[in-house]
Structure formats: structure tokens, C-alpha cells
């Protein structure tokens, strides 16, 4: 999932440099959403792994 976040971030940067505002806004929004989903999934797996080892 982090891979796709970086792909959309690169697409957003290239589109922003070339002046494609609509593509830039869409790709940046998707990259933000995927980053936060990745972050939440990472924290959930970190917490569940910590609880499993502690018990």
C-alpha cells in the first residue's frame, strides 16, 4: 500500500510541474488517503503484535 502511495505522489508531482491542475489535485488526494490508510493499518498491526507477544 505504501508503494501505491508513492506512485500517486510521484504522479501528483509530475502533474503539478507540467501544469495539469486537475490531475495534480486528484493524485495528491489519493496519495493522502492511501498514506493515512497505510498508517492506520501499520499501527493496528503494531498494537496487535505487541499484545500477542505480551500474553
Encode pLDDT of 1-51 as tens digits: 678 878 888 888 888 888 888 888 888 898 889 889 999 999 999 898 878
Residue range(s) defining the domain that contains residue 28:
2-49
Looking at the 3D structure of the chain, how many domains does it have?
1
Cα–Cα distances in angstroms (integers) from residue 34 to residues 11, 54, 55, in the given order:
14, 30, 32
The reply to whether 33 falls in a domain is yes
The reply to whether 25 falls in a domain is yes
pLDDT over threshold 60, residue 55: no
Grid coordinates 508503494 are at which residue? 3
Residue 1 is given by DSSP the state -
The reply to whether 54 falls in a domain is no
The reply to whether 55 falls in a domain is no
The reply to whether 11 falls in a domain is yes
Beta-strand runs (E) in the chain: none
- Cell readout for 39 is 498508517
Report yes or no: 4 and 33 within 8 Å, Cβ to Cβ: no
The reply to whether 44 falls in a domain is yes
Report yes or no: 33 and 7 within 8 Å, Cβ to Cβ: no
The reply to whether 43 falls in a domain is yes
Amino acid at each position: 500500500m505504501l508503494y501505491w502511495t508513492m506512485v500517486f505522489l510521484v504522479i501528483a508531482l509530475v502533474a503539478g510541474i507540467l501544469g495539469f491542475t486537475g490531475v495534480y489535485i486528484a493524485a495528491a488526494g489519493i496519495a493522502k488517503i492511501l498514506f493515512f490508510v497505510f498508517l492506520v493499518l501499520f499501527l493496528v498491526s503494531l498494537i496487535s503484535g505487541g499484545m500477542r507477544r505480551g500474553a
